[in-house]
Structure 1
Amino acid sequence: MKDGFNKLRKLSENAKKLNGEQQVSLGTLFNEGFIQTHTDFENIDDLFEKAGFKVETEEDFAAIPQEDIDAFVQEHTKFDSFTDMQQKAAAEHVRKQIFKGIK
């Protein structure tokens, strides 16, 4: 029973850490496991390279035309758009953070 309370306390602590706005790098959000599971690419850099985008900075990423990345993602992944892929990656990231340290 005590183990259950400890897990609940850890869940609560983890949830508090996620409270508010979070900054997560593209590499963390689109980790290799996520990319390899949901796309035909090895990592997010591979995806961008095959799509014809050079992304080395936040500015490079922001300059990608939404319709171009959406079309590429729709054609080469399990997602309808880059936004869909981003939302799935964010949900998986949050889930991992919530259950971090809980077995």
Structure 2
Amino acid sequence: MSVRIEGFEELSDRLSQLSRDAESIDGENTVPMTELFPPDFMQTYTEFDSLEEFFDESPWVIESQEDFESIPEKKFDDYVDNHTGFNSWEVMLKAAGREWVGRKLNLD
């Protein structure tokens, strides 16, 4: 009597691809905010359809990295808390990072 296992080659190929994908994002990455916060993320976790709308509706003019960095952290955390499912920018950023890794590893 023998046992036939099907799908092993497909599993092996998938694991090899996962390994290659993981190697491609290993280490420190610079990710554009629009890639980190795609519309799907924004629509799921915020009151907004896009990152652009999230910034446009804020009480600040955010047209550059410098503009963004000049916002007082506590005030931005309050804005995030009031308009998203997160209580701070850091928590929102970490969640977006986890989802970005999942997309890069094709773990959808």
**TM surpasses 0.5:** yes
Q: CA RMSD in A?
A: 1.4
Percent of aligned positions that are identical: 31
* Aligned pairs, number: 101
Gaps of at least 5 residues in structure 2 are 1-7
Q: Can you list the C-alpha shifts for 1:48-83, whole angstroms capped at 9, x where unaligned?
A: 121122222221221121111100111111101011
> Which of 35, 38, 43 is the equivalent residue of 2:45?
38
Q: Scaled by the length of structure 2, what TM-score is found?
A: 0.87
Gaps of at least 5 residues in structure 1 are none
Give, in whole Å, the separation in 2 of the partners of 1:38 and 1:56: 23
Q: Runs in 1 of length 4+ with deviation above 3 angstroms?
A: none
1:35–1:42 Cα contact (<8 Å) kept: yes
The structure with higher relative contact order (CA 8 Å, sep 6+) is: 1
Aligned to 2:34: 27
Question: How does 1:65-76 map onto structure 2 within 5 Å?
Answer: 65-76=72-83
Give, in whole Å, the separation in 1 of the partners of 2:104 and 2:57: 30
Matched, 1:49 2:73: no
Aligned to 1:91: 98
Q: Determine which structure has more spread, i.e. the larger CA radius of gyration.
A: 2
Q: Scaled by the length of structure 1, what TM-score is found?
A: 0.91
Give the secondary structure class of the aligned counterpart of 1:53.
coil
1:45–1:55 Cα contact (<8 Å) kept: no
